[in-house]
Amino acid sequence: MIGMFNEQFTMVMIEDDEGHARLIRKNLERAGIGNPVIHFDDGAKAIDYFFHRGMTKDQHDKTLVLLDLNLPNIDGYEILRRIKTDPATRAIPVIVLTTTDNPREIDRCYELGCNVYITKPVEYDSFSDAIRKLGLMLAVVKVPHSAKG
């Protein structure tokens, strides 16, 4: 399953903290998720990538987003809202990955249509575990799309 996942998806990571980005990559690799990762450290750049490059729906279908909420220029909520309201990008799974476990934020993210919300754990092992679970779940979630594409 993870193999399938590896072959087909590009991960778009929107994360302004250099360290976190690095840790996420390292842990994904360690979890065996070797997909290509495109990293944006700025909300505006991510918006530019999704909406101003004339990408097709097919291309979007092979994308998965790891999204931080606190971002410079355009914050994570806005990116989430844009992705989930645009018909071309609506199907992209969005995983909100943030340090806060504020219930209000979690609620707001689910309202905006995020697929999964993960609190970045300080505890290293649980973080890896979460990423691993995430990889598994993404594979399951994306099966119908992969069949089509």
Partner 1 sequence: MAMFAVLSFAMAGFSVIVYQHYERIQKLNDYALYQYEVIRQSRVVLMDLVDMETSVRGYLISGDKSFVQPYQSARNMLNADITILRNHTFRDEGAAREVYAWLDRIRTFRKVLDDQVENKTVNPRTRVSMADLDRQRAEMDQLRRMMETSIVKRLIEVRKQIAVKHDERSNFIYTIVIGNVVIIGILLMGTLTIVNLEGRYEKSVLKHEQAEKRYREVIEGINDGLFEYNFVNETLYCSPGYKALLGYKDYEFESSFRNYQDHLHPEDRDGALSDIRRYVEGDTDSYNSVFRMRHRNGHYIWILARGVGVGDDFSAMKLLVGTHADITEQKEHEEELRQLNGELETFTYITSHDLRSPLVNLKGFSRELELSVKEVSDLVRLHADKIPPEDIKRLNFTLDTDIPEALGFIAKGVERMDSLTKGILDLSRIGRRVFRLSEVDAQAVFDKCKGALGYDITQKQIEVICQPLPVLVTDALALEQIFGNLLDNAVKYLRPDVPGRIEVSWRETSGSYVFTFADNGRGIDEADRTKIFEIFRRARNTEGVTGLGLGMAYVKATLRRLSGGIWFESAVDEGTRFHFRLPKRIETAETETDMSPDGTVDAATEGTRI
Interface contacts to partner 1, rule CB under 8 A? 17, 19-20, 23, 26, 70, 98-104, 106-107, 110, 116-124, 127, 130, 133-134
Q: Of 7 and 107, which CB lies nearer to partner 1 in the complex structure?
A: 107
CB of 96 vs partner 1, minimal distance in Å: 11
CB of 134 vs partner 1, minimal distance in Å: 7
Structure tokens at 135: 């990889």
Question: What element of type H or E holds 104?
Answer: helix 103-112
| φ, ψ at 92 (rounded to 5°) | -65, 125
CB of 87 vs partner 1, minimal distance in Å: 26
Please list, in sequence order, all residues whose beta carbon lies within 8 angstroms of the beta carbon of residue 137, skipping any fewer than 6 positions away: 116
Whether 67 and 79 have beta carbons less than 8 Å apart is answered as: yes
Rounded Cα gap, residues 85 and 91, in angstroms: 10
Q: Of 121 and 145, which CB lies nearer to partner 1 in the complex structure?
A: 121
Q: Of 50 and 114, which CB lies nearer to partner 1 in the complex structure?
A: 114
